[in-house]
Structure formats: C-alpha cells, structure tokens
Amino acid sequence: MMESESASGASLSPAEDILQEPPAIEVEGLTKIYGADGGDSPIHALRAVELRVPRGEVFGLIGPNGAGKSTLMRILATLEIPTFGRARVLGEDTWTSRLRICRQIGFMPELFYLYQELRVEEYLAFFASAYDLPPAGRAKAVEDVIELTDLGVRRDSFCGSLSKGMRQRLLLAKTLLHDPELLILDEPTSGMDPQARIEFRNIIRTLSKLGKTILISSHILSDLSAFCSSVGIMEQGRMRVSGTVEEISRALALVDQVQVGFLGPPGPLLDALEEFEGASAVELRDGCVRFGFEGSEEGLARCLKTLVGCGIPITRFEHRRSDLEDIFVRVGADQVS
C-alpha cells in the first residue's frame, strides 16, 4: 500500500493520513458586510464567524430569518466573497480554489428555478451534461440519483407538475449528480408538508450513511434535531454556539434531567436528593420529583438505589439527556435576558 509524505517529509501510514485530512469546513473570522463599498447603510450579514465541521458530520445551521445562514453558505459555495476573514472547504480556500471546490461540493440554494417544460429524467440528463460528467457515465449518474431520491415513479413527469416536496427532491438529485463529497443545503425542507419532510429526512440519513458531509440550514429546530450530529446556532450574523450536542451542553453547563414518580409523601426523597452528589435543582412539580443530574451511569444507578432505600414506593425513574431543544431554549433564553 502506498504511503504519503507529511509536510515535514516523514511518511505517514494510511490511518495517520486520514487523521491529517483537513476538516470539511474551516471558517475563521468570517465577516460579510453588504454595501461596505460606500452604501448608505451597510448590512453586517456575518460578524467574525468561526466554524469547524469535520468530515462525515451532518451539521445543522439554525437561526431566525436574517441570521446570516444563507450568506455563510453562499460564501462556502464560493458564490460570495467575504469582506474579512477566510473560509476553507475540503482544505481549499474559497477565494483562490473556486473551481476545485465546485467539483467537490453540491450546493442546493433556498430559491431555484426548474425548467417547467422538461421531464424529470430530461432535467437531470441536461445537468449531467452541463456539469461535464464523462458522457459514458451520465446515464448511470442520472439513474443513481433518481434511485437515491426515490424519484423513479416521477421520471416522466414534467418538472412543472411536481409538488413542492418532489421539486425539492429533484433539486437534491441534481445537486448529487457529480457525487460531491460535501453537500450544502440551504433550507431544503422549507414549505414542505410533514410527510414530505419525513421523506426528505430519510434521504439525508441515507446520504450521511454513504459518508457525505452535510451542512444543512433551517429555522425549524425539529427539522434538524432528528438527524444532525452537530449544530451551530446563528443570530444577527454571529455564531452563538457550535459543536456536537454534548460539547455545547458541556459549554452551556446543561445537565441531564431526571423525573421520579412516587406514592406517598415526597419529603424523604427530596431530602435524600439534596444530599446526593451530582443532583441539583431538586423540585416537586406536577406530582413528580424533578432534578438535574451530572454524573456517570453508575452514579445514576446509585441515585436510584438511594431513592428506593428511602422506603417510598417509586413508580417511575426517567432519565433524559440534554438535547438540541434544551440548547436552543438556553441560547434563546440568554438572548432575551
């Protein structure tokens, strides 16, 4: 097997080589000011954004309208030039390596135009040729993306006759034609009905299993919480937090939540929990004892044993890890405080 050379000249094993691979996305101090060249009221769309997305992640970008998500994505897709800072995609600078990046990424913009009078298969064949795929591989590329996005039954339908969900699937199919390593999907589920959203999510999961790195934006939390391995929350051009749910939970000091159902007086349970290491914010609410918990699985088991030892019958012991929703609530709460 071939070995490659590191910058220092030492040879690397294949495993080390993979570890040396640059992340899919690296953004440093990225700032975009529209109208910076003399307009009356310049708009700060991005303010010193920092972001790192390792390869293989499904990274969700969340934020309200105007937060800067599309601007960030367009810069990563090499369609906008930053005012300050820099962005690297798959190790290449978006400013100096535009063509090389374009060959390796698939960008699905929020707004797009479909040639209404073309049929689905014709539309894809047209783009397979526009993307300059090798002629011998075009038909297979079209078939592969039709299968991936489950568009087989609509291959002969006119683009103009497709529902919103089908149109989004077709646009995704087009985005996948050149088998890009990184997908940048700007609000792909916006305007879809719940069933279409579920189907779209399943396609994203399949793409993730195929090893694609995916950057996907939405202002609807539930769209992303189901399948994103990490997230970034944007607000007014700033990246408020980013990382895996565990990393952000730790940074925000979010703790897991436990609910205990019981029969009889809660006093002994409350007393025991006040003393128990790792338990915090103990309260009685809606007939349940609730508390935050920080500790290992063993610690949790000890906690349950302690409560059972209080002699009060326990009917329920529910442990819930902090999730994206908790993070969003906390960040949202910080915004108004």
**Binding stretches for ligand ATP (CB under 6 A):** 34, 43, 45, 63, 65-71, 110, 219
Q: What's the min distance (Å) between Cβ of 90 and ligand ATP?
A: 22
Q: What's the min distance (Å) between Cβ of 334 and ligand ATP?
A: 19
Return the DSSP state at 131. Answer: T
Residue number with CB closer to ligand ATP (32 or 178):
32
Helices (H), the chain: 14-20, 69-76, 98-104, 120-130, 135-148, 164-176, 194-209, 221-225, 245-251, 267-275, 297-308, 324-336
Residue number with CB closer to ligand ATP (14 or 191):
191
* Three-class secondary structure of residue 329 per DSSP: helix
- Answer positive or negative: Cα dihedral of 142, 146, 151, 152: positive
Q: What's the min distance (Å) between Cβ of 234 and ligand ATP?
A: 6
Residue number with CB closer to ligand ATP (151 or 233):
233
Q: What's the min distance (Å) between Cβ of 218 and ligand ATP?
A: 8
List the one residue out of 120, 180, 181, 127 whose CA is nearest residue 155: 120
Nearest 5°: CA angle at 252, between 247 and 257?
90
Residue number with CB closer to ligand ATP (8 or 65):
65
Quote the CA–CA distance of 286 and 264 in Å, as a whole number: 14
Quote the CA–CA distance of 191 and 186 in Å, as a whole number: 13
Residue number with CB closer to ligand ATP (215 or 255):
215
Q: What's the min distance (Å) between Cβ of 65 and ligand ATP?
A: 3
* Concatenated DSSP letters of 293-311: E-S-HHHHHHHHHHHHTTT
Q: What's the min distance (Å) between Cβ of 33 and ligand ATP?
A: 9
Q: What's the min distance (Å) between Cβ of 43 and ligand ATP?
A: 5
Residue number with CB closer to ligand ATP (104 or 190):
190
283 — phi, psi (to 5°)? -150, 160
Partner residues linked to 26 by β-bridges:
52, 88
Residue number with CB closer to ligand ATP (66 or 299):
66
